[in-house]
Amino acid sequence: MPRTLREVVFVDGVRTPFGKAGDKGIYAQTRADDLVIRCIRELIRRNPQLPKDRVGEVAIAATTQIGDQGLTLGRLASLLAGLPNTTPGYSIDRMCAGAMTAVTTAASSIAFGAIDIAVAGGVEHMGRHPMGEGIDPNPRIVSERIVDQTALVMGKTAENLHDRFPQLTKARSDAYAVGSQNKLQAAYAAGKIQPDLVSVATRHKDLGFGLATADEPPRPGTTIEDLGLLKTPFRAHGNVTAGNSAGLNDGATACLLASEEVAAELGLTAKMRLVSYAFVGVEPEVMGIGPVPATEKALASAGLTIEDIGLFELNEAFAVQVLAFLDHFGIADDDPRVNEYGGAIATGHPLASSGVRLMTQLARQFEEHPEVRFGLTSMCIGIGMGGTVIWENPHHADYVPSADFSARKA
């Protein structure tokens, strides 16, 4: 039977405030699965016109799939969030791009017609489950020189990126990091972050009960002089520090995806339309370069160029990784189109959850910038990969809903 792929839209996205990993963090005694369950419940609450039984799939990512992040988390979270027991679910792992992959995988099912609506997201409790906990990498990957040993330590791959591109200096990385902190502080002051945060009730053995309502990692007021005093833990006299990198964090995200026609049928607002996506592999030793070829591939698939992109949400695993992307495409370090609300250096990066944070922030920026037609979300991925998703702004004058487009063709 001939099939026509359907357009997929991003309807809504939410996240918990991100916390600092460790015994003193706000989520130290909070279960990982409860964080993502809270996000799913909030999506359902914010979209009352959506019948729960119309959700066809729940895809939830986690990098460390053990303990309260294991056992087919998408299915368990679906049940605990109050969706019907007829709603299936599954887990995803593509390290930092877990939630991004949950979105593209679920979106592909929608486009194919297997389902109409999906929930996709991710969670990482790095305080409870540090990256790499319980794993046993095959020693042949190093002994047979498939990768260098530095490929297995993300901070060392960032130092390698500095080596590969000597123009990406520590001074530039520190300046970029300060800019990220300042942009997030300004976004909070303007009330741009809060609409998509879901409060989380917390319990701490020392601090008692609480309510998480804002991100814990940001350091407003950080200066370049402050960053210059920090140690370089991955290499003596190196370039990568805690100040120009994302931290170790806890948090969760979730979003609602739908066929554009079904969204219109149910009265769900389309905040973005999926244009194209791409994942690529790169040398694991310089995994931070991954967003460059991923973006080139996604642009080629869409028939676009970098000049067509008006907004960028780039995951700031390390400042040097973002700078490598900007240099490649001839974009200034302080270009206002890039990470308008700040990025992971300030906000935090709970690994598998971060992809949906990028998308949710891009959707907000599309509302503020109807003059921008296309934007992208992109991130580097551990063990040498990159991922990019390109989105179209429904507020742009040239946007044509798929139902209207079909009617015009007829």
Is 1 part of a structural domain of the chain?
no
190 contact partners, CB below 8 Å, separation of at least 6: none
Judge whether 255 counts as a catalytic residue.
no
Residue 231: which pLDDT band, with cuts at 50, 70 and 90? very high
| Neighbour tally for 83: CB within 10 Å | 21
Residue 100 has, within 13 A of its CA and on its CB side, a CA count of 32
User: Measuring CA to CA, how many Å separate 316 from each of 48, 100, 181?
Assistant: 34, 15, 12
Phi, psi of 207 (to 5 degrees): -95, -10
Predicted local distance difference test score (pLDDT) of residue 161: 97
Asked whether residue 1 carries a pLDDT value surpassing 80, the answer given is no
Judge whether 3 lies within some domain: no
Percent of the chain with pLDDT over 90: 92
Measured distance CA(260)–CA(256) in Å, rounded: 12
pLDDT > 80? residue 194: yes
pLDDT of residue 407: 47
Both structure tokens of 297:
């591939």
Backbone φ, ψ for residue 327 (5° rounding)? -60, -45
| Phi–psi pair at 299, nearest 5 degrees | -65, -45
Does the pLDDT at position 328 exceed 90?
Answer: yes
DSSP for 199-263, written as a single string = -EEEEETTTEEEEE-S-SS--TT--HHHHHTS--TTSTT-S--STTB---EEEEEEEEEEEHHHH
Q: Is the dihedral of CA 32, 34, 40, 42 positive or negative?
A: negative
Q: Is the residue at 355 inside a domain?
A: yes
Catalytic residue among 125, 129, 162, 349: 349
Task: Give pLDDT, residue 404.
Answer: 64
- Domain annotation covers residue 17: yes
Give Cβ neighbours of residue 397 (< 8 Å, ≥ 6 apart): 370
The residue behind tokens 């992040």 is 69
- Nearest to residue 93, comparing CAs of 351, 406, 376? 351
User: Does residue 2 fall inside a structural domain?
Assistant: no
Per-residue pLDDT at 204 exceeds 90: no
Domain membership flag for residue 187:
yes
Instruction: Report the pLDDT averaged over residues 308-328.
Output: 98
The tokens describing 27, both together, are 């989520």
Q: pLDDT at residue 410 above 50?
A: no
Flag whether pLDDT at 403 surpasses 90.
Answer: no
Parallel, antiparallel, or unpaired for β 272-281 and 8-15? antiparallel
379 three-state secondary structure: strand
The reply to whether 39 belongs to the active site is no
User: In which domain, by residue range, is 95 found?
Assistant: 8-130+139-406
- Work out the mean pLDDT of the chain and round it to a whole number: 96
Q: Is 84 helix (H, G, I), strand (E, B) or coil?
A: coil
Considering only residues 15 and 402, tell me which one the structure prediction assigns the higher pLDDT. 15
| Location of structure tokens 């918990």 | 16
Q: What is the pLDDT of residue 54?
A: 98
List pLDDT tens digits, range 278-300. 999 999 999 999 999 999 999 99
Looking from the CA of 204 toward its CB, the CA atoms found within 13 Å total 16
> Sorting pLDDT into bands at 50, 70 and 90, what band is 408?
very low
Q: What is the pLDDT of residues 22-48, one digit of tens each?
A: 999 999 999 999 999 999 999 999 999
For residue 310, count other CB atoms closer than 10 A to its CB: 17
**Angle ∠(314,317,322) on CA atoms, nearest 5:** 45
Contact by Cβ (8 Å): 21, 126 = yes
The answer to whether residue 284 sits within a structural domain is yes
- Lowest-pLDDT choice from 58-67, 199-208, 225-234: 199-208
Q: How many residues does the chain have?
A: 410
Confidence class for position 135, pLDDT limits 50, 70, 90: confident
> What are 349-364's pLDDT values in tens digits?
999 999 999 999 999 9
Number of domains into which the chain is organized: 1
Task: Give CA separation, 135 vs 130, 139, 157, in Å.
Answer: 11, 12, 19
On the question of pLDDT at 409 being above 60, the answer is no
Segment 232-239 shows an average pLDDT of: 96
Q: Is the confidence at residue 93, as pLDDT, over 60?
A: yes
CATH code of the domain covering residue 204: 3.40.47.10
Q: Which of 96, 125, 162, 255 is catalytic?
A: 96
| Helical H segments across 282-389, by residue range | 291-302, 319-328, 344-347, 354-368
Q: How far apart are the first and last CA of the chain?
A: 20
Q: What is the Cα–Cα distance from 41 to 18, expressed in whole angstroms? A: 18
Question: Is 406's pLDDT higher than 60?
Answer: no
pLDDT, tens digit, for every residue of 149-182? 999 899 999 999 999 999 999 999 999 999 999 9
Q: Is residue 74 part of a domain?
A: yes
396 is known as an active-site residue: no
